[in-house]
Structure 1
């Protein structure tokens, strides 16, 4: 595998073109450009991230495989969606916890899309048992939760995001001082960044620094779901 030199200048234009030509015929005709502009540099990036991730925590995996690794599939799951376009017009890279079988476990995430690039950390759409664990942990350890969110550099660079309930979750008082956090269905934090960053040879250092900035949140969530960090 070639050494990562930054994503090529053709990466974002290819994703824009794919968004305008999201069909199997066009993709088949431009498959080689997908390989050279998206998949090959993404796999090289993942390979370069492996030791940097170990410096943050030995519990997360950077797996540079074409399928079944850190690079998410380009094919959309259209079974339950009104949008039947077959391809994603973004690059999604996930670094899972070694105990996590899917994206619902604590993890780090990189999203590259024209006009919307961001780093992510946390737990997206946790299953009901995991969600209950996190909510109960926040109730039992409220000061540590607030401290995790206020800690620099997390507070300066990341913001909590994701879906929330409209009403208080069952079993929790409606006047709880941390009600807005208990209503969360996702426990994720995002950091938007300029798409120019992906072109730099130092991009993996930028990403690693960003992930390190979520240390307080990730440490708390891993404790909540009883896995090592």
Structure 2
């Protein structure tokens, strides 16, 4: 016979006291109860559904029936975090012995800020600090002329050496522009006289013969941004190129003039050494020229020292800064001109006083020095960059 159906609940579940024999149904469901609820028969499921419907109709919320999940508890909300409040704002809790949720230090800090705000007057005019630019030096009795420098130009270079900074030069920009213009006019007039002394030197613009005052400090240990001198070089291609040049250097206390090949390329050095080895007589003739020796090579007082050998030693002594310590590769250590073979610079220089740039006859003296240098410069250019139409001299070798 079929199993008897369970009796349906006729009314809502009522809570009874402790004295009653019935026990109140718990609203919580254990894991074991849930297991049996899922493992019950289909008929029992129907009965459970009927019981749940009856309970819902009667409005009994004291507990849930078996086989159902309990309702989640509502999470407690902090004050001020509801829908009507501001989210993310912390709740200020009262501390013992304090009011308003602020400690003594915090309150004092806010009071100081309020006092500063009250003291600040927006309508008060701002303070402006004016830094007056230094005045330019007066020209004095001497005027600016093209064929000589003004003393203010040398004074500017002297001040630049003591204040080699960008800020200082920016404040003295007017003085710098005036000195540069003075130097440009001096170089322009000197260019005309040099081209007249050496016909191989063309008339080039100022920018092609002048050295800029700005230093390249990318790979230098000296951080000063400016040179403390003015300089210019004249060659067949200006201040740049493979040709020998004439050079003037204007620096207060260290002025000099000179010429030749300074730091030539490796190919040019190889040609010069080959010429020293193959044509030594030509080198002796150029270095031993009386005018050249008198102006550019220091000589002894004795007559026996006024020889080509002495001139060769004096020339080698002037170029010992970056010379080789030993013989170059491919040459004998006992070579008769090993002193010249070890050189990597082929220049001569002469110190001159500062007044040579400021005097009326100073420029003529500089040109006179360069006239005695023309044969030496021409000799170097014939080796480094020989002319195709030039005739080669067959000089005999000197005796050892």
Backbone CA RMSD of aligned residues: 2.0
Query: Does structure 2 retain, via aligned residues, the 8 Å contact 1:104–1:124?
Result: no
Instruction: Indicate the residue corresponding to 2:196 in structure 1.
Output: 55
Larger RCO: 1 or 2 (CA < 8 Å, sep 6+): 1
Deviates more, 1:9-18 or 1:45-54: 45-54
Which of 46, 49, 66 aligns to 2:187? It is: 46
- Spell out, residue by residue over 1:25-68, the C-alpha distance to the aligned partner (whole angstroms, 9 max, x if none): 0011112212222x112211221123312222222245343xx3
Contact 1:123–1:186 (CA under 8 A) maintained in structure 2: yes
Unpaired stretches in structure 1, ≥5 consecutive residues: none
Q: Is the 8 A contact 1:14 1:34 kept in 2?
A: yes
Distance 1:41 1:219 in 2: 31
Report the 3-state secondary structure (helix = DSSP H, G, I; strand = E; otherwise coil) of the residue aligned with 2:258. Answer: strand
Match of 2:228, SS? coil
Give, in whole Å, the separation in 1 of the partners of 2:359 and 2:217: 34
1:10 aligns with 2:152: yes
More strand by share: 1
CA distance in 2, matches of 1:101, 1:51: 16
Distance 1:96 1:20, change over 3 A: same
Q: Does 1:74 align with 2:213?
A: yes
- Structure 1's 164 and 181: CA in aligned 2 closer, same or farther, altered over 3 A? same
TM-score by length of 1: 0.90
Moved more, 157-166 or 124-133: 157-166
Report the secondary structure of 2:184's partner residue: helix
Give the aligned partner of residue 210 of structure 1: 369
Structure number with larger C-alpha Rg: 2
Secondary structure (helix, strand or coil) at the match of 2:217 reads coil
Indicate how the Cα distance of structure 1 residues 191 and 169 shifts in structure 2: closer, same or farther if over 3 A, else same: same
Q: How many angstroms does 1:106 deviate by? A: 0.8
Q: Assess if the C-alpha contact under 8 Å between 2:214 and 2:227 holds in 1.
A: yes
| Runs (5+) with no aligned partner, structure 2 | 1-143, 298-314, 391-400
Please say if residues 242 and 384 of structure 2, whose CA atoms lie closer than 8 Å, have aligned partners that are also in contact.
no
**Post-superposition CA distance 1:58-102 (Å, at most 9, x none):** 22245343xx3211000011121100110000111111223x672
Name the counterpart of 2:329. 170
What is the aligned partner in structure 1 of residue 292 from structure 2? Answer: 154
Counterpart in 2 of 1:200?
359
1:130 aligns to 2:272 (yes or no): no
**Shift of the alpha carbon at 1:130?**
0.6
Does the 8 Å contact 2:356/2:363 carry over to 1? no
Q: Which residue does the alignment assign to 1:94?
A: 233
CA distance in structure 2 between the aligned counterparts of 1:170 and 1:220, rounded to whole angstroms: 24
